[in-house]
Amino acid sequence: MTAQRDVHHFINGKAAPGTSGRFGDIYDPNTGEVQAKVSLASKSEMDQAIEIAKNAQVAWAQVNPQRRARVMFKFKQLLEENMDELARLLSIEHGKVVADAKGDIQRGMEVIEFACGIPHLLKGEFTEGAGPGIDVYSMRQPLGVVAAITPFNFPAMIPMWMFGVALACGNAVILKPSEKDPSVPVRLAELMLEAGLPEGVLNVVHGDKEAVDAILDNDDIKAVSFVGSSDIAHYVYSRGTANAKRVQAMGGAKNHGVIMPDADMDQVVKDLVGSAYGSAGERCMALPVAVPVGEGTAERLIEKLLPEIENLVPGHSHDPDAIYGPVVSQAHKEKVESYIQMGVDEGATLIKDGRGLKLQGLENGYFIGPSLFDNVTADMQSYREEIFGPVLQIVRANELEEAAALASNHQYGNGVAIFTRNGLAAREFASKVNVGMVGVNVPIPVPVAYHTFGGWKRSAFGDSNQHGFEGVRFFTKIKTVTSRWPSGEVADQAFIIPTMQ
């Protein structure tokens, strides 16, 4: 039996036990046992945390950018020193294997590295002599208190995507992580405090819809960054913008991998296995749809793919030999398995069925074996919707235009990939496909930290992407100053709005 513990809020630089009387269960996905309880905040608790952040932000905004950058440098160092601890804590709550957990932390740390350059990123523009004795310049200033609402599938990376840039820009942050795996976000806040961040500038408040609504309705929250399902993303965007907040809300995905006849099929299979089944498919940039172009391409793909899938055995998230671990919850396991049955009922060919998997000693764990469908069509509900599990669907196409149309016409537009040796085909595809992020022989085209992450259509609501300079723009506001230092004859001239006279 796993020893239970309590996960508290982290407010004003210290653990803050909840006062709402409400708690959520944190499960070990490997065993199905409850391993901890997490406090769920009331509206009043959230409002109190926001007030603390508001007061702390005033002094933090006055800290010069170089010193804020030094906090980021120190935080990065602490992440590296505590990588093993963080990865094991993450994996035991989420279920992803330790190697994937370290990747989760590493990709978040890359945004922290980007934020270390904040003095350069906050530079404004300057025009000398815009008029007689007149200079015009702009400056980027923090918004105040901002909120980060993050999902269960990347409990380290996505919080760092958000709070790294927001804090470096001089804001205070309310982080509302997923209540399914909240311990790593709290640990990140503790390390940020150790790195030199003042108390109250980064607060972690756990909760459910009540906490989210308290964020969206509080006038002191100036911006909200969200990642989650599309329906909730739309809700957050609509309610947040209705309350005059900046909102970037990233939603679901159904990413396609287009496989041309000239592709290196051995490499394609390796890429597909990793991107479709890695982390149990619980990634918005997973590649759950393979689109081989031409019947011969499809047959070669399946022939090479099946032996690789047969060797894919999930295991305990701390097992170094496991390719992937369990999904996050019993409810999610049932949802994924219902989609597998839906595909069967809709007439797709189930080549490999991952349902009913039981691991010795972990019979109550939330494990799903790798599943593979062929002959999936665009009118099937199981294709139109996001499954978010270790399920790969093959949708055959006769030509590149047909394959591109599948990705372009889908309700989601997060990522897409093309596998080919033909540079012209890849260039045309990347230019014309109606999707926000494109990979060319790259199965999971998540941009590096100094570029930006963001999808199109129902994969994103709002006009701003995550991290990169888009993140700096999102978490700052522009102030433009027109200054006049006249002398001589210029001093006697009135400064008025120009006219046609």
Q: Does residue 495 lie in a domain region?
A: no
- Is 494's pLDDT higher than 70? no
Cα distance between residue 57 and residue 70, in whole Å: 17
- Domain containing 152 equals 5-251+459-480
* pTM across the whole model: 0.94
Q: What token pair was written down for 158?
A: 């996505």
Q: Give me the helices (H) in 195-327, please.
A: 209-217, 230-242, 265-277, 295-310
How high is the pLDDT of residue 498?
Answer: 63
Instruction: Write the pLDDT tens digit of every residue in 212-225.
Output: 999 999 999 999 99
Q: Does position 491 have pLDDT exceeding 60, yes or no?
A: no
Tens digits of per-residue pLDDT, 429-488? 999 999 999 999 999 989 998 899 999 999 999 989 999 999 999 999 999 999 998 776
pLDDT of residue 255: 96
Query: Which residues, in sequence order, are CB contacts of 296 under 8 Å at separation 6+?
Result: 261
376 with 428, same domain?
yes
Query: Which CATH number fits the domain that encloses residue 313?
Result: 3.40.309.10
Domain assignment present for 493: no
Angle of helix 183-194 relative to helix 157-168, nearest 10 degrees?
A: 30
Active-site residue set? 284
In this structure, is residue 48 part of a structural domain?
A: yes
Q: Are residues 21 and 129 in the same domain?
A: yes
Say how many domains are in the chain: 2
- Please state, in angstroms and rounded to a whole number, the distance separating the CA atoms of residues 410 and 385: 9
**Which pair of tokens denotes residue 341?**
């049955």
d(CA 203, CA 186) in angstroms, rounded, equals: 9
Q: Is there a single domain that holds both residue 184 and residue 306?
A: no
Say if residue 267 is in the same domain as residue 408. yes
Residue 450 lies in a domain: no
Q: 222 and 335 share a domain?
A: no
